[in-house]
Amino acid sequence: MRFARESFIVFRRQLRMNLRNPAWVIIGLTQPVLYLLLFGPLLKPMTAQFGAQNAYTFFVPGLLVQLGVFGAFFAGFGLIAEWREGVVEAERVTPASRTALLVGRLSRDLLQILAQAIVLCALGYALGMRASAIGLVIGVLLTVLLGAACSAASYAVALTTKSEDVMAPILNSVLLPVLLLSGILLPMTLGPAWLQKVSDYMPIKHVVDGVRSSFAGDLASSSVMWGSVWAVVLTGLAVYWGTSTFRKENA
């Protein structure tokens, strides 16, 4: 009960900060919306090559994962600003659980990703996307889980580096191969065999495949199973890493 109350206090403060300045929420949603509007129509002539029947049913899941990964990975920059302003130090002198300091922030991030995902799916439906209700819910849940993993990892990197100048190139070096090897924009089956083999070692690629299969209504497929497994494993590892980093700050 005490842990839930402490997490809620942190969540409420973080949410209030977002509501005062929603610019980052809007900017985070702008990129996938632009991809959907400007890149989505280019996929229509190639839909049959992907083994899909609807270009937007194929494309929106990739954009959801992009939203969960790219939006969440930048959450740590806000924590560096809080650390510089002494907010983190002030929280450290309270008896609040260090895990609650992370969970409260993660809750704010997940709510933000969920709201952005709903807007993106609504826009996808308006453009012609077709997906079953349960498949859409499962796909969004996988996206939110992946977002939790990326946010927790971002906070851990932020508290370790404490510098935007160091954190930015680290994130770029991680995000570029994620974008190219996860099949977010185009399926990896279009590439040569060696590239497909390399992409098999990218966990987020399996989450992308899982979200696509759930949107297509193929809920019993191995893609959904492996996507769910990787989303849970990545979230567990990242939350453990983030919690350890917050606790280390207390040492």
For 143-201, how does the pLDDT look when each residue is reduced to its tens digit (9 = 90+)?
999 999 999 999 999 989 888 889 889 988 888 888 888 888 888 888 889 988 898 99
Cβ contact 134:184 at 8 Å:
no
Helices 98-127 and 222-249, interaxial angle, to 10°? 150
Quick one: which of 31, 115, 119, 112 has its CA closest to 75? 112
State the Cα–Cα distance between residues 42 and 136, nearest whole angstrom: 23
State the Cα–Cα distance between residues 142 and 135, nearest whole angstrom: 11
Core vs surface per residue 145-173: b (16+ CB within 10 A) or e:
bbbbbbbbbbbbbbbbeeeeeebeeebee
Could you tell me the CA-to-CA distances from 13 to 93, 129, 210 in Å, in that order? 17, 36, 34
Could you tell me the CA-to-CA distances from 51 to 116, 187, 201, 216 in Å, in that order? 28, 10, 23, 11
Both tokens assigned to 18: 């977002």
Which run of H or of E encompasses 144? helix 133-161
Residues of the chain with pLDDT under 50: 251
Please give the pLDDT value at position 211.
92
- The DSSP string of 63-99 is HHHHHHHHHHHTHHHHHHHHHHTTHHHHHHTSS--HH
Please give the pLDDT value at position 177.
86
What are the start-end ranges of the H helices in the chain?
2-20, 23-38, 40-43, 55-73, 75-84, 87-92, 98-127, 133-161, 164-181, 193-199, 203-215, 222-249
Please give the pLDDT value at position 250.
53
Both tokens assigned to 136: 């859409």
Please give the pLDDT value at position 72.
85
